[in-house]
Structure 1
Amino acid sequence: MSRQLPPLTALRAFEAAARLGGVSKAADELHVTHAAISHQIRALEDWFGLSLFDRAGRQIRLTEAGAKLLSPISAAFDNIAGAVNLVCEDANQKVLTVSAAPSVAYKLLVPRLSSFAAMEPDVEVHLHHSVELANFVSDGVDVAVRFGRGNWPGTVSKRIMEGFVQPFASPSLLQNAGYALADLPLTPEQIAALPLHHEDSTEFWRAWFEKAGAPGLRFRSGAVFHDAA
């Protein structure tokens, strides 16, 4: 009989927010953004088809359904953590868990695994696919490869290669906005008027506008306008 389970990432976000009494505290513990925790909780509520928290501004309080869910979920995660610790204590097993985005894992890490195995034949490498910041306390991750500035709290980072960011747009988006290929490249002001997509943060858009010589430009991110400065 198959188990009917919601996404485990959403359960972790819910459990941390409920246990700590806030979305921001859960985000700090799991080393993700406030928006990522909120998104996961809402996805879990959609899965159940009911509310798990009552919200009043930034304050959250468990509903009756959320209170029923918290205790067994917390116990389950404690049991999983205990089992993982027991396995990791096996002195005969040397495991290196490396977390990276799937594209980085397959293009950068997998081609080098044979060379690493030749140098360290007693170490078994586990690849963990994720783009969220790793929590080296609770995730069981030893090393993480991420794209960013490297100023993540509670970590020691080392740059392994240069990166760059630049805008991309589908031809249909440009066409709908009234631009033709002959109009390219667009100015920062023209780009700022388009709906700009991003992940949890507008950090890289702000950096790009600054690099393009328009640090104070207001730009559209979804339905919200931001100052690039």
Structure 2
Amino acid sequence: MQLPPLNALRAFEATARLMSLSKAGDELHVTHAAISHQIKHLETWLGRKLLQKSGRGVALTPAGAEYYLAVSGALAAIAHATGNMRRDHNMRSITVGCIPSIASRWLVPALPSFRESDPDLDVRIVYARAEERFDDESLDVLITMGEDLSAGRESRLLFSRRNQPVASVHYLAKRNWTIENVPFARADLLHDESVDGWKEWFRKAELKPTEPIRGPIFQDFNILATAVIAGHGVALCPVEVFRREIERGDLVVLSDISTAETQGYYLITSAWAKKPVRRFAEWFIQECNSSSLR
């Protein structure tokens, strides 16, 4: 095989990904000058210009962009294969990172059925932050909001994040309102992290809210869910995630107008995930598709 110098490849991949010689040097624990030398060495070896100056940083040439796609995928494959070699060969356990809203409503309640179907595989569940990205050194599966388009990753959609106004029937009865006739401007609005979600909904609904928009703001989405089910007010919730609560009648959808339609919750694995990880992924995707919102 005619392979280029591997240290130079690592320097090029890091620089192209970070768009900075200095940041690449920090990541690889070498100097800015060393990174520059390695890239020049690689360009000489290939006979092609890969990077060019762009302001205070660097940019890929067309040839560099094409080469980066191949190099990043190949290095990701090597890293994953190496990680697998260092793990238990028989893979008796997997680690699943999951954001709290999906863990509490879907993953944890369904786990007994996975243990019945795959009793020899232990599953370790850890909470993941919404901004956390997949790292196959610490996780086998990540269930989070948003997909991962990085090389060597597979993202599969679990739920749309389409948000619609919901409330409990007890709240509506307390206010003498019907599902078809909710005066949203006078409702007790519940907020997820900020009032921006409701601002966007009122804009799309072409309704004028009471100014300023009031109501409790919840940092944790599970606390917001508890509040709306308990009848404290009206919340914008991802209706697919709350499918079972809606089907049971714990919550009712108050409007067809929605926000965040293009966003979603995804299950992310390595593109080279082992069979136990793929079995878990297929099982959980099937669980999430087990009933549909009409």
State the TM-score, normalizing by the size of structure 2.
0.31
Higher alpha-carbon Rg: 2
State the TM-score, normalizing by the size of structure 1.
0.37
Q: Which structure has the highest strand share of the two?
A: 2
Relative contact order (alpha carbons < 8 A, sep ≥ 6): 1 or 2 greater?
2
